[in-house]
Amino acid sequence: NAGVMQNPRHLVRRRGQEARLRCSPMKGHSHVYWYRQLPEEGLKFMVYLQKENIIDESGMPKERFSAEFPKEGPSILRIQQVVRGDSAAYFCASSPGWDLAKNIQYFGAGTRLSVL
């Protein structure tokens, strides 16, 4: 959905570098989700944030990965000391936060991370 903006679309990093992925949710949406899509697999939930709060990070790897959604500005997914296994497409989604069970999430076009 064009309303959720992710940048960059493509990101190339060498092993050991840091990757920062940005996501601006749709206007009026206060809930942000990050998903990772590995080759030949579906999307796997990573983390769910509201403004200034991490609600659920049960899908985040224990080390090197962090996420934030500050009061002002986009949500950031940060991967420190990247390894080849981090190569994947990372998708951000947002929802307005009401009627959460029906939870229609609107997805960005993704950031494709390649680790050399």
The footprint of another protein (CB under 8 A) covers 1, 4, 6, 31, 33, 35, 40-45, 48, 55-56, 58, 91, 93, 100-110, 112
We find the least distance from the C-beta atom of residue 92 to another protein, in angstroms, to be 9
Residue 43 vs 77, nearer CB to another protein: 43
**CB of residue 115 to another protein, shortest distance in Å:** 19
Residue 18 or 56: which CB sits closer to another protein?
A: 56
CB 112, min distance to another protein, A: 8
Residue with tokens 């403004």: 51
CB of 97 to another protein, least distance (A): 9
| Beta carbon nearer to another protein, 100 or 116 | 100
DSSP class per residue in the chain: -TTSEEE-SEEEE-TT--EEEEEEPPTT--EEEEEEE-TTS-EEEEEEEETTEEEE-TTS-SSSEEEE--SSS-EEEEE-S--GGG-EEEEEEEE-SSSTTT---EE---EEEEE-
